[in-house]
Each structure stands twice: as C-alpha cells, then as structure tokens.
C-alpha cells in the first residue's frame, strides 16, 4: 500500500488541543494537551480514507474532505501550515 505524501505532516484541531502527526513510515503520533504521544500507532490511507490501529489495541478511521481538512473521531483537524 502506498502512503500518499499529500497527507503527511501535522494535523491540529481548531483549538490546538489535539495534534496528530502522520509520519512517512505509516506511523502516527498524537498529542493531547500537554501529554505528548498520548496515542501512537500505525495508519493506512486509501484514497481520502484513513484507518488507524493504535498501539493499545483500538481502531479508528477518518476521512479527508480536502487536502487541508481531516474528519476523525468526532473532531475536525486542519493541516498545520509551515511557519516559513
């Protein structure tokens, strides 16, 4: 399965509380508030659909509605823009 590079990077909720990084090796790392790596695991992307397997055993999914918006777990995440 090929991981589309267009979705790699940091995704953040509007309030900045949840920060999820989609890493190139098919892993993710999610921070919640001050807790770094609150959730970690692997993911696969097919089209605009993402499926997660957390290291603790639960699964989740989400949908990219466009290149900069991810709907996952009842939250809306936005691609973090680089500060260049």
Cα four-point dihedral sign 10, 1, 52, 61: positive
What is the structure's pLDDT at 81?
A: 82
Residue-range domain boundaries for the chain: 5-79
Phi, psi of 81 (to 5 degrees): -80, 140
What is the structure's pLDDT at 83?
A: 63
- Global pTM value: 0.89
The strand pairing partners of 9, in sequence order, are 22
Q: Which has the closest alpha carbon to 17: 73, 82, 83?
A: 73
- Assign domain 5-79 to its CATH superfamily: Uncharacterised protein family Atu4866 (2.40.128.290)
| pLDDT band at residue 75 under the 50/70/90 scheme | very high
Per residue in 7-26, pLDDT (tens digit) is 999 999 999 999 999 999 99
Find out whether 76 and 70 touch, Cβ atoms under 8 Å: yes
The tokens of 45 are what? 């992307």
């Amino acid at each position: 399965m090929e991981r589309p590079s267009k979705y790699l990077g940091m995704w953040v909720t509007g309030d900045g509380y949840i920060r999820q990084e989609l890493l190139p090796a098919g892993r993710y790392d999610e921070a919640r508030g001050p807790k770094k790596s609150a959730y970690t695991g692997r993911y696969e992307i097919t089209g605009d659909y993402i499926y997660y397997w957390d290291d603790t055993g639960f699964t989740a999914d989400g949908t990219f509605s466009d290149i900069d918006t991810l709907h996952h777990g009842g939250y809306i995440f936005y691609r973090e823009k680089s500060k260049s």
